[in-house]
Amino acid sequence: MAVLTRTRRQARTPAGRGPRPRRQWKAYLYLAPALLVLGVFLLYPLGQSVWISFFHWDGLTLATWAGTENYVDIVTDPRTRAAFGHAVVLIAFFSVLPVVFGLLLTAVMGRAARMRGLGFFRTVIFLPQVVASVVVATSWLAIYAPDGLLNQLLRAVGLGVATRSWLGDFGTALPAVGLVGSWVGTGLCLVLFLTGAAQIDRELYEAARLEGAGLFREFFAVTLPGLRGQVAVALTLTVVAALKTFDLVYVTTKGGPGDATSVPALLAYERAFQTNQVGSACAIGITLAVLILLVSLLISRVQPREED
């Protein structure tokens, strides 16, 4: 009888459709606290920032409608355009160089797995990641000073003509800040790549070596394809760090000399808290968030899919 009833129920089900899944309302209850926190502390402030970006507001008096004027200013204002341009330049230092250095170190450490003190070197390279960025910036501020360690080393090796105020020179200030980001990001990339390399099948390396593959051929044929996922994660983290960098620039140069090292986050801070242009600051922040989202989506395209 039960079999007959089940057969009749299946017969009433439309052709090509299975039984309708039951909604798991309990799952939404478990997610409710997290969704509430997300909405109150992230989505609501984000929506409020979007709304304020359409106004001229000094943060105290009554706001006046500005429409898209604050966003048009981002495109037409040379100072704002320069800040976004500097952020793009910093991507080369914060992201490209650390990823390249991390891959090279992973290839070398993979060959020297039994070398004594390898763990010590890994710790030293990763150390900048666990140091507060303000401490890192202050340390490099002393190194780049006119009488700092870098200029002293140059004089010691007979290159005194190359000494300068690295953070006060229009031509070297931005690369000098960017190299600090390279120094910090390399440790993160190295740890990600070493973790990924440990998951690559050892038989692939043995097969490559039996075929006479050297260091470079082994790296490009085995290691690099096996690290696509880790490279995508490293690119995402470091590019986002480059675009939203603030504390490193604020401590070392405050955007100077002139506007040579200004970045969008620093410009938004100045307009919100120093020149009382809260609407313009919100427009810069929203534009930066959209730019970070688009770059993250583009980078996610290189991540391997599950079926790969």
Instruction: Decide if 158 is inside a domain.
Output: yes
Strands 64-65 and 55-56 come out as antiparallel
**With DSSP H G I counted as helix, E B as strand and the rest as coil, what are the percentages for the chain, rounded to 5?**
70, 0, 30
Q: From first to last of its 308 residues, what are the pLDDT tens digits of the chain?
A: 444 445 455 545 554 455 666 667 778 888 889 999 999 998 999 999 999 999 999 888 888 999 899 999 999 999 999 999 999 999 999 999 999 999 998 888 777 666 677 777 778 888 888 888 899 999 999 999 999 999 999 999 988 888 888 999 999 999 999 999 999 999 889 889 988 888 888 888 888 888 887 778 888 888 888 888 889 899 999 999 999 899 999 999 998 898 899 999 999 999 999 999 999 999 999 999 999 999 888 888 766 665 55
Domain assignment of residue 186, yes or no: yes
Tokens, residue 260: 């040579």
Distance CA 213, CA 197 (A): 17
CATH number at residue 224: 1.10.3720.10
Domain count, the chain: 1
> How far apart are the C-alpha atoms of 168 and 219, rounded to whole Å?
41
Q: Is 209 inside a domain boundary?
A: yes
In a domain, 13, yes or no: no
51, part of any domain: no
With respect to residue 169, please indicate whether it lies within any of the assigned structural domains.
Answer: yes
N residues, the chain: 308
Q: Which two three-digit tokens encode residue 49?
A: 């920032």
Q: Cis link prior to 257 (omega < 30° from 0)?
A: yes
Range of the domain at 160: 97-258+286-302
DSSP result, 237-277: HHHHHHHT--HHHHHHTTT-STTTT--HHHHHHHHHHTS--
Tell me how many degrees the CA angle 120-123-124 measures, rounded to the nearest 5.
85
* Token reading at 212: 């006479």
Q: Is residue 65 part of a domain?
A: no
What is the C-alpha end-to-end distance of the chain, expressed in Å?
48
Q: Using an 8 Å Cβ cutoff, are 126 and 191 in contact?
A: yes
Does some domain include residue 247?
Answer: yes
